[in-house]
Structure 1
């Protein structure tokens, strides 16, 4: 009995500091990262591809021909008798490395999936509707390791663990934007989060010291089921509004956040050759989505667009009691985050009918901020640089095919990585999007066939 209790104590612990073997695979999951082992996983970058190629900045972006997934106040900019549609897919290449006991373990993994489906349409003069479907967070990992504990080694033998997980949480947003008075708009949106995340572990004894057949394996599985409504409000104010020359817009949003309360079904199978014991629990996990405040400036002329955003997320305050234990003894907890985003778009000449490259839009950007979890009280930073192009589908038209890339890194200083056993991670993202604008005057009945 003591032996089984000891095994359960160790196998239930999550393992941020497990050394991994090297492999390269492809999957349809949206992420593959050991940092997605906790909570609801790794957060996805929000926004349509044009804004993601500009570092993810776009809270102040206001356009009659381009969707804005970040601020519902922008829905009011949709022109009458038009219809905006956006669709995007994204592939990711993850490269992880870890220094442990003088050895370096490396992994690589490829993923590919959709990123967003969105539309905007006018409801009335100065009133617009927006809808979007985007991944909010993703889980994907597979790590192996050996329990390093003298008590377990002396009583049982060498115990090997395999942890794996996959799944995601999706955000559905539906809202309206209204130009309350000239140069000032407000917006409100409902957000619905749903999805399932599956996590499992398998523990096997590879060098049994207590005799053959006395213990075979312990297998456990947890399923997180999310279904929750939240809300968002936003404003946009055109500080400068000279449509033929320049526009400077100040935007801000507030995400209400709240208790996510995912249903967690936990099942542990443990046994030997003579029988199997099954333990099952279905508690509510106390996990809170953060209050979020985002503020951004967006400057645009006929040739350039410049964006800068600041985002604050209150992860730590709402999740003070939420802790997960790593097998190395360190606690994994949440903290408040600050993120800065900036980007630039340049279009040489949208009206050039002879040289197509002059009509293309060229984008660059960067993002820098805090990671929303701590490991043994140690904090991590993450940054990314982005680039992309927009290729118009027709002369004098606003519809386009968008291409984007992103390179990012995550990890703390070397001394922290070596002490806690954290993974240094870098990734590349490749995305393709289609932005459709109702330039053929949808909803207008033709006068002649």
Structure 2
């Protein structure tokens, strides 16, 4: 086992261990908007692209495996592995009430290697696609009480958890110095669960627990292409254009409803099947590097979630549907982002630590694909600041990204979320599979 591999394994243990206490505290944490659809959608790209506003379909780099566009996998020189953890604090406000919640999650694993250096590359990854994690508490008094001259007070707690993950594998191929193409096969799977627990102040009344769960899975694919033009405006500059298209798919699902008097959920359970249409997603981006030290990128994303349909609707035998609130809660999703990276050393590997450190900034604006009301769309704006630190191990970098954003509104009884987050990722690259020249 090489020193770099040992470093990756140790880093994995540290990152996972650091998130475990937060996981233990995070049941029900998160945004109320994750209650709808398949949950809050997560960014799947690279730590470099994430700090520059997210995604990065046009962002070509030899130091990272970018999962936004499989065509970029053709650029592999080293065998690379990376993993990370994400922490986020959300401050939610209804205009009259405020809450503050914190959660941490594992941010996925990526692995890639070249079959032919800067010609054919292969990549695999495991990452979250969406996350449902919320908690809402409502208190009230029953309009009809079985006790004369005595009210019946109760509390209803809504909890949500789960989400979708993806296992991705594919290949990128460089046709010539300017054009590359790629494709990946993506298996989506996961479980989303919501629980409603009604409790009463009277000790002679038992709690009522109803748990609705949906298990989803689907197979889809992503196609990508990338164009690089050199010496466009001056010598040694690069203009990069990238595009990726994820095919529409059908998420097959099995619904279950369990009722009981405790969290054991063993009193009564029913199940039924169906499907949810997941629309295509298109991404187009442009990146420009006037020198090896500076890169500027801009990107747009669109997915017509408003046309989605579901056969997992409520029926007489299964009184809850999916998604929550029906497909009327789904809107077309679009997102625009832009970012800058500055690395003073450029391609000079003999400069000092600060010169080889990369500094990144990015912004994004998005219309979410979910909204609790048909009259109001939910928008999100976010700013990110990142730093990439070189290490004494060649090919290994530590990336830290901080983010601050806001989504939603307090109008029409909705919720406004202000969130702060930090992502830490370790990326290791080294040469494998080298053919010996001397025997």
Which range, TM-score by smaller chain? Answer: 0.7 to 0.9
User: Which residue pairs with 1:429 in the alignment?
Assistant: 421
Q: Alpha-carbon deviations, 1:265-303, whole Å to 9, x = none? A: 1112379xxxx9954321225422221000001222311
Q: In structure 2, do the counterparts of structure 1 residues 270 and 57 end up closer, same or farther at CA, with 3 Å as the change threshold?
A: closer
User: Which residue pairs with 2:137 in the alignment?
Assistant: 144
Q: In structure 2, do the counterparts of structure 1 residues 294 and 232 end up closer, same or farther at CA, with 3 Å as the change threshold?
A: same
User: Which residue pairs with 1:224 in the alignment?
Assistant: 214
| 1:22-421 equivalent positions in 2, closer than 5 A | 26-27=22-23, 32-79=30-77, 82-99=78-95, 104-124=96-116, 126-146=119-139, 150=143, 157-206=152-201, 216-240=206-230, 245-269=236-260, 278-300=267-289, 301-319=291-309, 333-350=329-346, 351=348, 353=350, 355-377=352-374, 378-394=376-392, 397-412=394-409, 414=410, 416=411, 419-420=412-413
1:319–1:334 CA contact under 8 A, matched in 2? no
* Range that drifts further, 152-161 or 187-196: 152-161
2:74–2:114 CA contact under 8 A, matched in 1? yes
Q: In structure 2, do the counterparts of structure 1 residues 34 and 152 end up closer, same or farther at CA, with 3 Å as the change threshold?
A: farther
SS at match of 2:66: coil
* Range that drifts further, 219-228 or 305-314: 219-228
Please, which runs of 5 or more residues in structure 1 have no aligned partner?
1-24
Q: Alpha-carbon deviations, 1:346-382, whole Å to 9, x = none? A: 0112437464212211000011010111222121100
Q: CA deviation at 1:240?
A: 3.2
Aligned equivalents of 1:425, 1:372: Cα separation in 2: 16
1:57–1:307 CA contact under 8 A, matched in 2? no
2:74–2:174 CA contact under 8 A, matched in 1? yes
1:57–1:296 CA contact under 8 A, matched in 2? no
Q: CA deviation at 1:443?
A: 2.4
SS at match of 1:27: helix
Q: CA deviation at 1:405?
A: 0.5
Q: Alpha-carbon deviations, 1:34-79, whole Å to 9, x = none? A: 2212232111122221111111041011223321110000111113
Please, which runs of 5 or more residues in structure 2 have no aligned partner?
1-20, 315-319
1:390–1:400 CA contact under 8 A, matched in 2? yes
Aligned equivalents of 1:330, 1:199: Cα separation in 2: 13
Aligned equivalents of 1:254, 1:348: Cα separation in 2: 34
Q: CA deviation at 1:116?
A: 2.3
Q: How many residue pairs get matched?
A: 400
Q: In structure 2, do the counterparts of structure 1 residues 270 and 297 end up closer, same or farther at CA, with 3 Å as the change threshold?
A: same
2:276–2:310 CA contact under 8 A, matched in 1? no
2:37–2:370 CA contact under 8 A, matched in 1? no
